[in-house]
Amino acid sequence: MPEKLSWRAVARLAVVPLVAVAVLGSATDVFARKATIKGGTVSTRKAEGYKYVRVLKKSSKHVKGVYIRRAHPGKERNLWNQSAAGTTAKSAAGSKVLQQKICRHEFMAPDPCSKYVANP
């Protein structure tokens, strides 16, 4: 026969999933927004006030992060990552990054890009 659980044991069982969700939720909030395309990812971090852009290169193709800052909302800036796969390029600090997208370099063809992703 199954053993009866006390109300404290039941309460502990109910709290464990809630704590796990809270911890995982805060861990995924480290990156505010990110855009991904085959071969790379561009992201910003909430903890840094969205002031840096990171471009992660996942393949042998060169990738660039295209981003727009608050100080110059009409100007697109580029951050290239031409290093080895698995490396990350990081921009210098500046005003808040309003939006960003990732593009993959294609030889003798248009570079495919993700859609712009806006920061809150």
For 29-86, the pLDDT digits (tens) are 455 689 999 999 999 998 888 999 999 999 999 999 999 999 999 999 999 999 999 9
Q: Are the C-beta atoms of residues 53 and 90 closer than 8 Å to each other?
A: yes
Domain span at 36: 30-118
- Considering the entire predicted model, what is its pTM? 0.71
What CATH number does residue 91 fall under? 2.60.40
Task: Give the side-chain half-sphere CA count within 13 A for 79.
Answer: 26
Q: Residue 7: inside a domain, yes or no?
A: no
Region 14-29 average pLDDT: 42
The encoded tokens of residue 96 equal 């808040």
Please state, for a pLDDT cut of 70, what percent of the chain lies above it.
73
Q: Residue 89: inside a domain, yes or no?
A: yes
Count the domains in the chain. 1
